[in-house]
């Protein structure tokens, strides 16, 4: 049996003990002898025999002392007996008083069926235990001390309390054994007690005997799918699996499987019996009790009452037009949303709020409730009193019908993720704006008559989906919940599930709760404090039944939510002017530079675009300043506007002061060299990562080093390096890190966006070209228009002609190419094949009679004519084919990289003594 659940915290009762027996006093021997001795002495002195009579005083005094001691002992025994009686009476009274208090606590914690049926807040006890009846149970009263028979009687009395609820664990089951009529009546009472303790959201009844179908037909637990299952049976074990079995059997029938406790009823006293364990192995001390019983008719009445708790006797479906508006209020937000047993149900976000939570599963009528709430407020109050921001995160259609109301400042949906986030973030600015307005007026809150701001109601359908997409906005809603009352900002947050969605700090500021049908009893308890919403029927006729609990309600109120139709919305008058949206228009998809320049009052500089700051309700130009911003990294996928960004920056510099590095590898090399020498105001390189990929490794490394030099020296040179790239990874990442400003255009993935230097929360797929993130703000880059000519040098494609008197050509396949050179250069240049000359040939012999001579040979052949090579270098020029880079180092002694030359494109390097190699184009 379940022991008392109350802690032994009271001080123990001190039991009295009998007074110890009084000891008999000793014989006063000295006092008896002294008179005898004195009498003898006086006789000897006086000689008078009369003196001997004094000797009799000793025995007389001894007898008198003994008699007096006996009298005192009798008096003390009588006083001790009186004190013992009084102490026992006090202890007995204290035990009775404590037993009575304990009995009341036990009865309150373990009520019977009658008490459970009368409770205003049903289904809050839980299915943990069953009360079998009233009997003697262990008491929490403690006693100490005491000896003797009376103390032992008091101790035994304190250990047990009479007429207290006898409870056993429900899981494990109970079998009532006795005459069929009485046993079945007790079993019915036990099942009804279980169904009164736990609602259908927590307990389901999976089986009852066939003859009990009529009695339990209305029981809502029989239609429940709750995981904890109970069954009622007459005799045999139930066919289906059950966690709690309540059985009734005759005295000679065996106990069904699944019953851990047996309640044996006495034949001559049908409701009296004793409870004991079902198995001998677990047998304990039997407990006698008096059980509770229910007839089939009484059970039917209770089942119908429970069914009424579920439906609440709500009216049939009705329209909003059938409801009367609540009385007018100067500053409140009272709205009639439905009708209950007691009449129309009115909720007020000011008086009952300031914020509300609405929970309900799909199809329960949550969107209809939110629509009716908005429509009810709109038909009673004008846009100068209340405005709405509607956020639909369940597909984008819930608030379509409300979008045309003049009160609605805006509707956002999850179909436009970026727009929805932007609108919600704008509420931060709205908080600051309202705070500033109240401070300007000197008002404490919007209820001050001097405040002319309308209240703003933010309605969110599927709040859980909003947080799933934008989890960082949870702090914003918590902030609004904390400060919204004074600022006139109210939340109505709808969701399918409440558990795990609302922070405690948010839920604490939402005292107005509405629960439609939910699947989990924990959601119902979290929102309205009972399992009621989990027990609401799920048929189509019950759609729109809700439980409303306001801050002042002792229990939820059941009502039918009114439906809002087209006619109801059409009847809402236009009222005053439509409110301004609490956010600015979105950034344009195309922003011409001329248009941005015309509307901008920014200080001089290079205009990049228009930045959107929804949390501050402002849009402002983004600038680059000469001499301050020394570098810009533009990172984005192909087709997102990187090239346009390069032109945007370059076109805003004076002609001749910008250098756009061309995509051609040779021209790009030359342009970077020019930038290092000339220091233009802007050096712009488009797709620098792709450009570096066009070079061999040694050239790519050298070009990257030169670009890093440009980036580091840009501040001192008062220039600006602009680089675009598809990704901020690989070797180019080091260069991009040297550029202090970063423009992040659309990228394929969130990981790429974060790698480029952005925040994960900023990533928004589907951004159009030119939509960038700069310094954490979303920016639409300006469109520069059609490209104009830039200052990059043109590729050197003109065929080179020898100009020196003598030219040494170091090329591969010189013998075969000599004829081609001669044909291209014409008669003015005589081409000589080096391999046809004799060793020791002299330069003056070769040049005699010719204005210009070109001697062609490969590297090995030139090394065999060392004297001739020396004379050519001293008096003329050497030209190395691009395929002869090794010979350039060995023959010309060039250790630095020559200008990049495309392979297999007749490129060569011209070397003149004392000058750097120059790239030329051979025939």
User: What pLDDT, on a 0 to 100 scale, did the predictor assign at position 151?
Assistant: 76
User: What pLDDT, on a 0 to 100 scale, did the predictor assign at position 359?
Assistant: 95
On whether the CB atoms of residues 381 and 573 are closer than 8 A, the answer is no
500 and 648 share one domain:
no
User: What pLDDT, on a 0 to 100 scale, did the predictor assign at position 58?
Assistant: 67
Each residue's pLDDT tens digit, 595-606? 888 887 777 888
680 and 816 share one domain:
no
On whether the CB atoms of residues 760 and 754 are closer than 8 A, the answer is yes
DSSP 346: E
350 and 263 share one domain:
no
Domain count for the chain, please give it.
5
422 and 388 share one domain:
yes
666 and 774 share one domain:
yes
Domain that residue 816 falls in: 806-921
Inside any domain, residue 449: yes
Q: Is the pLDDT of residue 235 over 80?
A: yes
Q: The tokens of 241 are what? A: 């699996």
Inside any domain, residue 159: no
773 and 810 share one domain:
no
Inside any domain, residue 125: no
754 and 858 share one domain:
no
The rounded distance, in Å, linking the Cα atoms of 395 and 397 is: 6
In terms of Cα–Cα distance, which of 365, 194, 416, 169 is closest to 278? 169
Can you give the CATH number for the domain in which 507 is found? 3.40.50.300
Each residue's pLDDT tens digit, 802-815? 888 898 999 998 88
Dihedral-angle region of residue 213 (phi above 0 means left; psi in -120 to 50 means alpha; beta otherwise): alpha
In terms of Cα–Cα distance, which of 643, 628, 668 is closest to 726? 643
Of 341-350, 529-538, 580-589, 736-745, which gets the smallest average pLDDT? 580-589
Inside any domain, residue 652: yes
Element (H, E) at 14: strand 13-15
The rounded distance, in Å, linking the Cα atoms of 436 and 433 is: 5
- In sequence order, what are the residues at sequence separation of 6 or more whose Cβ sits closer than 8 angstroms to the Cβ of residue 56? 35
54 and 102 share one domain:
yes
367 and 455 share one domain:
yes
Inside any domain, residue 610: no
Overall average pLDDT of the 103-131 stretch: 83
User: What pLDDT, on a 0 to 100 scale, did the predictor assign at position 456?
Assistant: 92
Task: Pick the last residue of a domain from 529, 549, 570.
Answer: 570
338 and 394 share one domain:
yes
| pLDDT bucket at 282, cuts 50 / 70 / 90 | very low
On whether the CB atoms of residues 608 and 778 are closer than 8 A, the answer is no
328 and 297 share one domain:
no
Task: Pick the last residue of a domain from 749, 783, 817.
Answer: 783
The rounded distance, in Å, linking the Cα atoms of 696 and 789 is: 29
The rounded distance, in Å, linking the Cα atoms of 357 and 158 is: 51
User: What pLDDT, on a 0 to 100 scale, did the predictor assign at position 704?
Assistant: 93
Q: Is the pLDDT of residue 155 over 90?
A: no
Inside any domain, residue 205: yes
Each residue's pLDDT tens digit, 548-596? 998 888 778 888 899 998 888 888 866 555 566 666 778 888 889 888 8
The rounded distance, in Å, linking the Cα atoms of 118 and 150 is: 43
């Amino acid at each position: 049996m379940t022991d008392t659940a109350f802690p032994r915290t009271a001080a123990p009762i001190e039991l009295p003990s009998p007074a110890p027996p009084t000891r008999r006093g000793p014989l006063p021997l000295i006092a008896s002898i002294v008179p005898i001795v004195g009498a003898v002495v006086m006789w000897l002195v006086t000689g008078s025999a009369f003196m001997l009579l004094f000797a009799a005083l000793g025995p007389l005094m001894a007898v008198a002392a003994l008699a007096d001691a006996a009298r005192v002992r009798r008096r003390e025994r009588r006083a001790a007996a009186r004190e013992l009686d009084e102490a026992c009476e006090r202890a007995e009274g204290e035990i009775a008083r404590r037993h009575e208090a304990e009995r009341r606590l036990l009865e309150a914690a373990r009520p019977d069926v009658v008490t459970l049926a009368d409770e205003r807040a049903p289904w809050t006890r839980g299915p943990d235990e069953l009360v079998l009846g009233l009997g003697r149970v262990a008491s929490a009263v403690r006693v100490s001390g005491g000896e003797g028979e009376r103390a032992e009687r008091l101790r035994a009395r304190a250990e047990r309390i009479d007429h207290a609820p006898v409870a056993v664990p429900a899981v494990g089951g109970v079998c009532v054994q006795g005459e069929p009529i009485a046993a079945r009546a007790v079993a019915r009472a036990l099942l009804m007690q279980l169904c009164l303790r736990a609602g259908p959201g927590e307990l389901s009844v999976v089986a009852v005997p066939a003859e009990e179908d009529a009695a339990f037909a209305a029981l809502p637990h029989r239609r429940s799918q709750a995981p904890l299952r109970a069954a009622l049976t007459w005799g045999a074990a139930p066919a289906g699996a059950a966690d709690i079995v309540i059985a009734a059997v005759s005295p000679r029938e065996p106990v069904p499987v699944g019953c851990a406790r047996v309640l044996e009823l006495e034949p001559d006293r049908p409701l009296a019996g004793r409870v004991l364990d079902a198995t001998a192995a677990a047998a304990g001390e039997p407990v006698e009790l008096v059980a509770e019983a229910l007839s089939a008719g009484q059970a039917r009445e209770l089942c119908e009452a429970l069914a009424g708790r579920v439906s609440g006797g709500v009216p049939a479906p009705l329209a909003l037009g059938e409801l009367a508006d609540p009385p007018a209020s100067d500053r409140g937000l009272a709205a009639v949303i439905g009708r209950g047993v007691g009449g129309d149900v009115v909720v007020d976000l000011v008086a009952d709020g300031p914020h509300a939570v609405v929970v309900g599963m799909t199809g329960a009528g949550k969107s209809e409730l939110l629509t009716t709430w908005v429509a009810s407020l709109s038909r009673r109050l004008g846009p100068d009193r209340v405005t709405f921001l509607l956020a639909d995160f369940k597909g984008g259609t819930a608030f379509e019908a409300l979008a045309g109301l003049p009160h609605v400042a805006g509707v956002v949906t999850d179909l436009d993720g970026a727009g929805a986030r932007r609108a919600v973030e704008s509420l931060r600015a709205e908080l600051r704006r309202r705070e500033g307005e109240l401070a300007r007026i000197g008002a404490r809150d919007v209820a001050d008559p001097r405040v002319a701001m309308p209240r703003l109601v933010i309605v969110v359908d599927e709040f859980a989906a909003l947080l799933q997409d934008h989890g960082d906005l949870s702090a914003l809603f918590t902030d609004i919940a904390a400060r919204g009352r004074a600022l006139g900002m109210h939340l109505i947050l709808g969701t399918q599930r409440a558990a795990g969605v609302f922070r405690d700090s948010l839920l604490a500021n939402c005292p107005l709760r509405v629960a439609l049908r939910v699947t989990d009893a924990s959601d119902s308890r979290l929102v309205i404090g009972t399992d009621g919403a989990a027990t609401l029927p799920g048929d189509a006729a019950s759609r729109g039944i809700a439980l409303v609990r306001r801050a002042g309600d002792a229990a939820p109120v059941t009502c039918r939510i009114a439906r809002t139709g087209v006619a109801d919305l059409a009847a809402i008058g236009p009222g005053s002017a439509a409110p301004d949206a609490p956010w600015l228009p979105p950034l344009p998809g195309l922003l011409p530079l001329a248009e941005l320049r015309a509307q901008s009052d920014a200080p001089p500089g290079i205009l990049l675009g228009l930045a959107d700051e929804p949390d501050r309700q402002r849009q402002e130009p983004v600038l680059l300043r000469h001499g301050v911003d020394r570098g810009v990294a533009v990172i984005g996928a192909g087709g997102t506007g990187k090239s346009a960004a390069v032109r945007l920056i370059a076109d805003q510099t004076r002609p001749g002061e910008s250098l756009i590095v061309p995509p051609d590898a040779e021209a790009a090399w030359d342009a970077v060299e020019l930038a290092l020498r000339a220091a233009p105001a802007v050096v712009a390189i488009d797709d620098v990562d792709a450009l570096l990929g066009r070079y061999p490794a040694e050239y790519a490394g050298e070009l990257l080093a030169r670009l890093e030099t440009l980036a580091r020296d840009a501040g001192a040179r008062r220039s600006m390096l602009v680089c675009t790239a598809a990704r901020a990874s690989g070797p180019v990442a080091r260069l991009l890190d040297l550029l202090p400003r970063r423009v992040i255009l659309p990228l394929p993935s969130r990981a790429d966006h974060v790698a480029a230097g952005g925040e994960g929360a900023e990533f928004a797929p589907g951004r159009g070209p030119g939509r960038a993130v700069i310094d954490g703000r979303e920016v639409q880059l300006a469109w520069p228009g059609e490209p104009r000519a830039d200052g990059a040098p043109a590729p050197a494609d003109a065929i080179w002609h020898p100009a020196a008197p003598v030219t040494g050509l170091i090329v591969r396949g010189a013998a075969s190419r000599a004829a081609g050179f001669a044909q291209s250069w014409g008669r003015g240049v005589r081409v000589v094949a080096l391999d046809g000359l004799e060793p020791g040939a002299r330069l003056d012999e070769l040049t005699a009679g010719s204005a210009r001579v070109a001697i062609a040979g490969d590297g090995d052949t030139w090394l065999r004519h060392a004297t001739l090579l020396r004379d050519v270098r001293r008096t003329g020029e050497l030209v190395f084919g691009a395929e002869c880079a090794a010979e350039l180092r060995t023959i010309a002694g060039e250790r630095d990289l020559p200008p990049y030359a495309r392979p297999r494109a007749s490129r060569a390097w011209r070397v003149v003594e004392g000058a750097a190699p120059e790239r030329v184009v051979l025939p």
